Structure formats: structure tokens, C-alpha cells
Amino acid sequence: MSVITIKDVAAKAGVSAKTVSRVINGEAHVRPELRERVEQVVAELDYRPNAFARSLSSSRSYLLGLFIDDPVSGYAADVQHGALMRCRERSYHLVVEPVDLGGADWAGQVRSSIAALRLDGAIVAPPICDEAALTALFAEAGLPMVLVAPSSKAAASGSVRMDDRSAAREMTDYLLGLGHRRIAFIQGPESHRSSARREDGYREAMAKAGIAVDESTVLRGDFTFRAGLELGERLLSGLPRPTAIFAANDDMALGALITAMKLGIAVPEALSICGFDDSASSRAAWPQLTTIRQPKAEMAGAAVDILVNPQFRKQAGGAQSHLLLPHELIIRGSTAIAPAR
């Protein structure tokens, strides 16, 4: 089987090889109809540019780095998948670089990775995207970076995020609309600033409804299944029990769901439970988990789009480089009308 070349794509599309190169590299100044024609031919021929040849003919490596603290978590898997798929569409390659901020020489390791890999850009996932000492290393190296779900827009970089506060407020409003008034909240770790924004949304909805939050029902977790098990038991072992538990991520919500089952509390008839993220496990549980769909893969894909955009590479940090993607309330079988008192 012969290898498809850029000349084959150009010939079938009826354009020059230079135009094909511009389309593949995401450059501007290509007419929309030409871009669409080239992209269609690239897909039809399943053309894959030779990364080594591309790097030799330019000062770029066509390699992006995804810097993340826990590469094996469910959140990380979705982020990696989104970045990988978009890199493939853009004819880039992706390398995943774990960063342990608790390590003795994490900064030296990051510097070594930047130097050795000759990256064209960095995608930085939460919670390490909020670590100023880390983002300073990329700025120091002159490496374009995009932060995924940062606590705020970074003046010197691109960012892609969703509105955690609004999403948590929407979930709490949904529970209130079902008649729940004693709604417990399981927080995430303080190191994840998104956790604080989700708690803010919960408290805002409760305050707007004129309902005082019982602080004994707001407990600190760490985004793990085990935290959901343990905190769920604390919430459900005493009286009066909450009629709903809203956990700041799906893993903790699923832990609380298992605890409810262990205690013989029917979900959702006697207790509603909901989470945040729409992880794969939220759909595998029974009953399936009501949750907020966070567009993790889409955020990672958008981060790739920003990094390969020539305008961003020339002057990172423009207003057009800060994106806010929508969330979605996913209603499933773990929530229902509040039980009669």
C-alpha cells in the first residue's frame, strides 16, 4: 500500500501543497471553501503528515505537552482523550507529563521536560493550573500555555473553563424544586479551587430560597470514593437525616450512594444523591447518578485549538483566547421528589 503524501492531497483537492500545509497547520488566510475542500480530502485519504519531516522543515516540533497531577484519575482520562483526539485532527502529537508538586525537585523535572521535548505548547490541567510557580516556568521558557479550568483568567495565557458556581447553583435549584430543604453538601479539597466555586453556588441557591444551611451537613472531602463512603455515613447515621446529598464530584457521590445502600436507605425514594462531572462511573451505577456534565474532553480539545492558532502563538493571552464552555444538568435515577416529612 502506497504512502499518501501532501502532493496527493493537493492534487485531489486541486490546490497547491503550500495551501494544504496551511490548512493542516491551522493557519489563517485560507478561503473557507478551500479549507473545507482540503479537510475533506485529508479525511478521505486518511492523510497523516510526517511529524519528523514537518519538524525538520520548520522551527516547530508539532508536539504539545499535557501537564497533569494525577494521570490515572477519571478526570484526567477525559482530558487526555479530548486533547489526544483534537491533536490527531490537527496533525499534532501529545505527550503527558505528570507533575507532583509535593516532589523534591518537581520544578527541575518540568524544566528538563520543556528542554528535552522541544514542545510547541503546554496544556495545564487542574489543580496545578493554579500553581503560580509552575506557570512561571512555562513563561520563563517562552512556551505558549493554556490552562484548563483555572480559578481565574491568567493575563499571560489562554484558558478554557466552565462556570462551576452557576452549575452548582443550577443543581441546588433543581433539588429545591423537588421539595428538598435539608440538602447536605460534600466539599472537595481546598487545593481544588473549583470545589470552592461549587460550594459558593450551592450556598447562593440555598440563600436565595431563604433556607439556612446547617453547617453540620457541609463536610470536607477529597474527591475520592472513600471520602464519599465515610462522609456519607456521618451524614446518614444521625437524625434528622438530609433528604438530599449534593457531592462536589461523582466519585464522592457514588461513595455516598453505596453507604445509603449499606444502611438500607432507599435511593431516590428516601434520599436523593447527585454529583458533578458526569464521569463514566456515574452512568455505570444503579440508580444512575444525576450530575453536572462538565465538558472535560471539549475543554481539552479547545485548549489544543488555541495553542495551534498562529495568532495565539504570536501573542498569547488575547481576549479571544479565554473560552467559557457550557455545562449541562443531567437528570437520572438517583434523584426524586423529597419524601414527605
What are the pLDDT digits (tens) for 285-329? 999 999 999 999 999 999 999 998 877 766 544 445 888 999 999
Residue 95 CB-density burial (10 A; 0-12 exposed, 13-18 middle, 19+ buried): middle
**pLDDT of res. 314:** 61
Residue at 30 is within a domain: yes
Query: With bands split at pLDDT 50, 70 and 90, how would you rate the model's confidence at 57?
Result: very low
Cell representation of residue 245: 446529598
Do 102 and 71 belong to one domain? yes
Q: How many domains does the chain have?
A: 3
CB neighbourhood size of 188 (10 A): 26
Choose among 8, 106, 83: nearest CA to 49: 8
Above 90 in pLDDT, residue 330?
yes
**pLDDT of res. 154:** 56
Do 177 and 267 belong to one domain? yes
What global pTM score does this model have? 0.78
Above 60 in pLDDT, residue 178?
yes
Above 60 in pLDDT, residue 97?
yes
Residue at 49 is within a domain: no
336 Cα distance to chain centroid:
28
Query: Percent helix, strand, coil in the chain (nearest 5)?
Result: 45, 15, 40
Q: What is the extent of the structural domain holding 1? A: 1-41
Q: Tell me the percentage of the chain whose pLDDT exceeds 90.
A: 58
Query: With bands split at pLDDT 50, 70 and 90, how would you rate the model's confidence at 28?
Result: low
